[in-house]
Structure 1
Amino acid sequence: MRKLPSLKALQAFDAAARLGSFTAAAEELSVTPSAVSHQIRALETELGIQLFERVNRAIILTDTGKRFGERIARGFNELEAACSSINRATRLDVLTIHCVPTLAKQWLMPRLQNFQEAYPEVDVRLNASPDPVNLLSVEADFDIRFGHYPSQPGVRRIPFPPETMLVLCAPSLAMGENAIRAPIDLSKQRLIHSEVNLFNWHHWFEAEGLLDLYQEKGPRFDRSFLSISAAVDGNGVCLESHFHVQQELARKQLIAPFGLAGYTVQGHSINFVQSRNRLPKIQAFKDWILKEIGIDESNG
């Protein structure tokens, strides 16, 4: 059992410390100034310390009282925030999705409106970061990761389908004397490097049997969406997952000179705590996203 002073006494002290007056504190708490004074004296007696210096009709926090007041204020702020979050939860179910930045920007964001329209009772919070979160401490309901991470007990991982890596460029680069018609033509182009890709230009040239033509020169980015943007601007040729460039291909901002077939990688996965699977918001998003990526899991 927690050993704490009276909540009323702590409230009286917090109000007096913030407002610098027993009278102002009494007005805020809808009690009399003498009641505030009584609660604070009782608190001082219980704690065995003096919290205020009484000078005529003024009050001044002691050094100990000031330190105590700062911590009590933080405590009440936390309580207030907790109550606010509970009140919000009673009105709306919040689904927190953590996602790697490029998939969040390039693939998930354009589709979230469809999910919101299908499930208007669910409010979506999207966090984008390359680092995985701890799902067991409920930092997020879902974590869409890129790459390979150690499995966690109780966390279910569903891999995305294999992702096709496409050679991509702006339409203007596919014309003229340096037009890209065959893999060997890339030796004349500036290569845009995505440093986080599991399958990079070195792997591509090696797979094509053209490793001796591979050039390490060219701009480098630590986020694939930056590489894609550079390619759209005509700054070179990028190698990216088809998942990431569906909008740019549809808008003809990028073209795939060698077509939409290519080498595949197992990149992304969706992760969630299995024991929370039956929560309506969890079930709704899981069913929706699996349908979006073309996975049929009718038995859940």
Structure 2
Amino acid sequence: MAQLKITFRVMALTHLKSLQALELALRLGSLQAAARALWVTPAAVGQRIKALEEYLGIDLVVRGRQGLRPTPELSGAIEHLRAAFQELGTVDTMLNLQRGDEIHIAAIADFADLWLKPRIEDFKAAYPHVLFCINGEGDAPLRIGQIDCAISFGPQHTNATDDLLFGDFLLPISSPEIAHRIANLALRDCLEGWPLLHLDFYKEDPGAPNWSSWIKVQHLKRTEPNRGIRFQRISAALEAIRANAGFAICGLALLGEDIGDGSLNLPFPVSTGHWTTHVFQARFHPEALLRPQVTCFRHWLQGQATGTRDWLLQFAQSAKASNMKW
């Protein structure tokens, strides 16, 4: 037993994740429960424990009717292991207190720049003591590995810590000047000769049309519709559109203010729009939700997202969209 205790001491730094998985699995009674606590898969927990067993050359856990339990080889060290992680938990709590009322967010850049940051001042006005770090920048310093909320665009998840924010509604957009220039042209020919801009932001979404498929459905005329400048970022494409560089098929969810004030135009009928299959969603770290400022932010984010959904539904009602997924 003494040899095992010494071995744990020597390897603690290099096998800390394995020791953590072992302690949680035994304390909570199953790999599944440990996986939920660690925010990983049960297979990952099992692999961590197996790596530790292979390193030591002994079995550490056995399965029983009451769940997992330590082997005789581990039994003499288990209380020391639990005490060690209790102390680490105390240290973690004390260090988190030093963070103050900070919220760390990792979000796709276009969502952060076009939707979140313009709204975040309203939250800060209500909670002036809360400091934000969004994508490594903001009032709070970046702390590696301490992400409270991650915001993505992709297939919808249904985990308890995942919140659906909104889907998106795609339509061609243009500058007011270009919209004015094509207003008196025949609809079938209005795109001929104008540059088409291509946004790769939506290319993985099976519900998102590209120019070729959209033009075909609308029975418009346009030679070589796949030619044109490609953009990874929505914000970069918007700069080109405002400079009268052409049209782009873009989601409206992040553009409410620009559409509302007329700085961007919808030159084609709303009925030509398409709902995305992918959605914007927020995932909160379970431990972060124990902090009241994160819970307040979660509720605020849901309220703001509801406003965007309601605004988009006005377009959906006009378009009578049949492919709405959310």
Query: Could you say which residue in structure 1 is the equivalent of 2:274?
Result: 263
Structure 1: runs of 5 or more not aligned? 4-82, 130-136, 296-300
Deviates further, 185-194 or 266-275? 266-275
Aligned equivalent of 2:227: 217
Separation of aligned partners in 1, 2:221 and 2:165: 29
CA-CA distance at 1:259 after TM superposition: 4.9
CA contact 1:181–1:257 (8 Å) conserved in 2: no
Tell me which of 224, 227, 236 is aligned to 2:237.
227
Please identify the structure whose Cα radius of gyration is greater. Answer: 1
Give the residue type in structure 2 aligned to 1:247.
Answer: E
Letter of the 2:153 partner, please give it: F
Structure 1 pair 177/171, CA: closer, same or farther in 2 (3 Å)? closer
Aligned length: 207
In 1, Cα distance between the equivalents of 2:213 and 2:286? Answer: 36
Aligned: 1:189 with 2:194: yes
Residue 271 (structure 1) shift: 1.1
Question: Structure 1 pair 147/213, CA: closer, same or farther in 2 (3 Å)?
Answer: farther
Corresponding residue number in structure 1 for 2:33? none
Given the alignment, which residue of 139, 148, 152 partners 1:145?
Answer: 152
Q: CA deviation at 1:159?
A: 2.2
For 2:112, the equivalent position in structure 1 comes to 104
- Residue 87 of structure 2 corresponds to none
Letter paired with 2:101: D
Query: In structure 2, the residue corresponding to 1:277 is in which secondary structure?
Result: helix
Distance across 2 between alignment mates of 1:227 and 1:190: 12
TM-score (norm 2): 0.54
- Structure 1 distance, partners of 2:292, 2:269, is 41
Q: How far is 1:227 from its partner?
A: 0.7
| Counterpart code for 1:145 | S
The Cα shift of 1:138 comes to 5.0
SS in 1 for 2:281: strand
Question: Which residue, out of 271, 285, 293, partners 2:297?
Answer: 285
After TM superposition, give the deviation of residue 268 of structure 1 in Å.
1.3
Cα RMSD after superposing both structures = 3.5
TM normalised by structure 1 equals 0.59
- Of all paired residues, the percent bearing the same amino acid is 21
Structure 2: runs of 5+ lacking an equivalent: 1-5, 11-90, 138-143, 308-326
1:65-144 alignment, distance < 5 Å: 89-90=97-98, 92-127=100-135, 139-144=146-151
- 1:167 maps to 172
Deviation string, structure 1 residues 142-179 (Cα, Å, up to 9, x no partner): 11101238x69x76222222311121111111223675
Partner Cα separation in structure 2 for residue 271 and residue 211 of structure 1: 43
Deviations 1:9-29 (A, max 9, x none): xxxxxxxxxxxxxxxxxxxxx
State the partner residue of 1:273: 285
Distance in 2 (alpha carbons) for counterparts of 1:195 and 1:203: 15
Give per-residue Cα distances to partners, 1:70-95, cap 9 Å, x unaligned.
xxxxxxxxxxxxx9xx7894473110
| 1:242 and 2:288 aligned | no
Q: CA deviation at 1:214?
A: 5.8
Matching residue of 2:140: none
2:185 and 2:286 map into 1 onto residues whose CA distance is 47
* 1:96–1:141 CA contact under 8 A, matched in 2: yes
Per the alignment, in what secondary structure is the counterpart of residue 95 of structure 1?
A: strand
Opposite residue 130 of structure 2, the aligned amino acid is V
